[in-house]
Copies of this chain bind each other. A is one copy, B any other.
Amino acid sequence: MRTGCYAVIFTSRLGAEAADYALWADRIEALARNQPGYLGHDSLRDQDGLGITVSYWNSEDAIARWRAHAEHATARSLGRERFYDWFRLDVCRVTRTYGFGER
């Protein structure tokens, strides 16, 4: 995204019984977009439930504040209890970035 920014890589497997998942996912995405320090995200999920979401932030503080958001905390609990078979989260510092073409 931008050298010196932070990326959060969320890799997950959605379980078969993920009722209400789409509602929660939409809600959390809308909240994240309005957080201070949010720079953007990309998200894909395949038909087997494997998903990768990468969100970009301007500081570690912004990530910490978003982590502390009450509704996000509720969603994370639901994630562990009901939505995901497993997930992994990597918090990263972007040390360099480059690209090709206009997105």
Q: Chain A: residues with CB nearer than 8 A to chain B?
A: 1, 7, 9, 11, 13, 42, 44-46, 50-52, 54, 60, 79-80, 84-103
Contact = CB atoms under 8 A, between A and B. Distances in A.
Copy number in the complex reads: 2
A89 B51 CA distance: 19
Q: Is the interface of A mostly helix, strand, loop or mixed?
A: strand
A97 B86 contact: no
B97 A90 contact: yes
A15 to B, nearest CB: 9
Contact of A89 (B80, B86, B98): B98
Contacts of A88: 1, 97-100, 103
Given A9-B9, A42-B50, 12 more contacts: A1-B90, A44-B50, A60-B95, A84-B100, A85-B101, A86-B101, A88-B99, A90-B94, A90-B97, A91-B97, A92-B94, A92-B95
